[in-house]
Amino acid sequence: MLHGKNLINGQWVGSEDTTASVDLANISFAQANLNQVEEACQAARAAFRTYSQKSRSERAVFINKIADEIDLLGDEITDIGIRETGLPEVRLIGERGRTTGQLRMFASVIAKKDYLDIRIDEALPERQPLPRPDIRLTHRGLGPVVVFGASNFPLAFSAAGGDTASALAAGCPVIVKGHSAHAGTAELVGQAIANAIQACNMPNGTFQLLQGSGRKIGSALVQHPEITAVGFTGSTAGGRILYDMCHSRPNPIPFYGELGSVNPVFCLPHALTKRAQTIGKDWAASLLMGAGQFCTNPGVLLALKGECFTALQDAAVKALNAGAEQKMLTDSIHTAYHDGISKFARSAQEITDGQRAQNPRHSRAAGFRVDASTWLNTPSLHEEVFGAAGIFVECDSEQQMMQVAQELQGQLTITLQMEESDTDLAKALLPIIEEKAGRILCNGFPTGVEVSSAMMHGGPYPASTDSRSTSVGTLAIARWLRPLAFQNFPASLLDADL
């Protein structure tokens, strides 16, 4: 049951300013005000001291309880999510499973102490010329953190998404700035977390949810002195502004932003000869998924010119033209997509049928072709267009393919479509693309990010604002931890892990 309020220090509270939901009849969402930002940040700070001192197993029980509560709300969440985002039922059910899976994964991560990376240098009192003291290093949660819900993942990257799950696991209270694209979904998930807080007797400020659009709330949250780190998934422009705010505070804090990526796919010559049509068809299928609204959407496909390039392109275009129009997440994303494909059309040749969607907020895929020299000289073609927009880059030679690789911006992923006989070229490309991406794939496509120990979802800027970290997978917990060393501590003062 939705009431359109914000969750602050354990209470659902309204505000003087409300915005009617675009997608849900008869509901308006209270827009948090600056006093409420202050209240939430103070409550999060007060919660930190208690929450961070809870044992690892107590926090694990709490995080598992959140997952159980989300399971209990299952169909209701799916129903609201469909209405707000236009995403299909199967996707939302899958995303809910991913969200509860992530929560349970982080609960199991902290059930063992490995993530604390404890290092113990025992005292060497007899060492000459100076004795060595006993030093024990562990990791502690940073403090209260802010998480921005992502427009494109109403569950897995929003209220109880990977950023929230990893921060709670690290011992950090979380304030979520909900995304206006799915305020109702966030509220339902917020209710599930509030139930878990009560059931597990955690401090009220352990999790809070503020809704609001127009930049005011987000800016105030990231600049609040009690906030110690920020997790974000969204636009490069917005993320960059928030990053700059975090770094120009009197006490600068880390900003973990996942921004833009075009996820290039290099189709190497022997793979092109052997599998042109399959690669073209599969690339199109990956591009069409979720109306292309994935951060790992493969927006650029490179191959050598010739007959096989044409076969590759024809297979992809056939599949793209056959794709049905799909609803996009928000009006502004829909507008940005159409502006983006108009921008591409100014420098590249559109090779799909050029027909646009008929229904409001819907889109159809758009494919473009350009020669590598034009691509190299046109920076606007290097930027992400969020949606099912793809560019074929036709290279004259392997050398030119390497030149394109050299000019790529930072990427979440780069894919090599290759046969064993392409190994020499792959080896030549690797030193270049290793500098450019967080994850490199051989064959396959980058959409469908596995949530696991070895996953890396981040990359050099603008893929993310800190290429040393990931927002997916168990390593994501490291973003919210800081090392802390204890020197010459008596056993009575050390925690059990040390």
- Residue 200 catalytic? no
43: helix, strand or coil: helix
Nearer to ligand NAP among residue 152 and residue 409 (C-beta): 152
User: With contacts defined by CB under 6 A, how many residues of the chain interact with ligand NAP?
Assistant: 25
The C-alpha torsion from 463 through 465 and 470 to 472, rounded to 10°, is -70
424: helix, strand or coil: helix
Angle at 483 between CA 479 and CA 488, to 5 degrees: 165
177 binds ligand NAP (CB under 6 A): yes
DSSP secondary-structure letter at 202?
A: -
Annotated catalytic residue within 41, 246, 267, 295: 295
Nearer to ligand NAP among residue 5 and residue 59 (C-beta): 5
Q: Tell me the closest approach of the beta carbon of residue 246 to ligand NAP, in angstroms.
A: 11
Contact pattern for ligand NAP over residues 278 through 317, marking x by CB under 6 A: -----------------x----------------------
**One of 33, 166, 235, 326 touching ligand NAP (CB under 6 A):** 235
400 binds ligand NAP (CB under 6 A): no
386 binds ligand NAP (CB under 6 A): yes
460 binds ligand NAP (CB under 6 A): no
238 binds ligand NAP (CB under 6 A): yes
The DSSP secondary structure of 167-192, one letter per residue, reads HHHHT--EEEE--GGGHHHHHHHHHH
Among candidate residues 462, 461, 417, the one with its CA nearest the CA of residue 441: 417
Annotated catalytic residue within 187, 258, 384, 394: 258
Q: Tell me the closest approach of the beta carbon of residue 236 to ligand NAP, in angstroms.
A: 7
233 binds ligand NAP (CB under 6 A): yes
242 binds ligand NAP (CB under 6 A): yes
Q: Near ligand NAP by CB under 6 A, which window of 1-9, 67-75, 227-235, 422-430?
A: 227-235
3 binds ligand NAP (CB under 6 A): no
Q: Kindly state the tokens that stand for 438.
A: 């967080």
Judge contact between 349 and 369, C-beta under 8 A. yes
| Cα distance between residue 401 and residue 189, in whole Å | 46
- Residue 295 catalytic? yes
Please confirm whether the linkage preceding 173 is cis (ω < 30° from 0). Answer: no
Burial class (CB in 10 A: 0-12, 13-18, 19+), 23: middle
Q: State the helix-helix crossing angle for 162-170 and 89-111, rounded to 10 degrees.
A: 20
| Cα distance between residue 35 and residue 88, in whole Å | 38
Q: How far apart are the first and last CA of the chain?
A: 45
260 binds ligand NAP (CB under 6 A): yes
Per the listing, tokens 């921005």 go with 148
Residues numbered 322 to 341 that lie near ligand NAP (CB under 6 A) are: 333, 336
Q: Near ligand NAP by CB under 6 A, which window of 92-100, 174-182, 309-317, 399-407?
A: 174-182
**One of 3, 49, 119, 215 touching ligand NAP (CB under 6 A):** 215
The DSSP secondary structure of 23-35, one letter per residue, reads SSTT-EEEPP-HH
Contact pattern for ligand NAP over residues 66 through 105, marking x by CB under 6 A: ----------------------------------------
| Cα distance between residue 23 and residue 26, in whole Å | 10
List residues with catalytic annotation: 258, 295
Binding positions for ligand NAP, rule: CB under 6 A: 148, 150-152, 177, 179-180, 213-215, 218-219, 233-235, 238, 241-242, 258-260, 295, 333, 336, 386
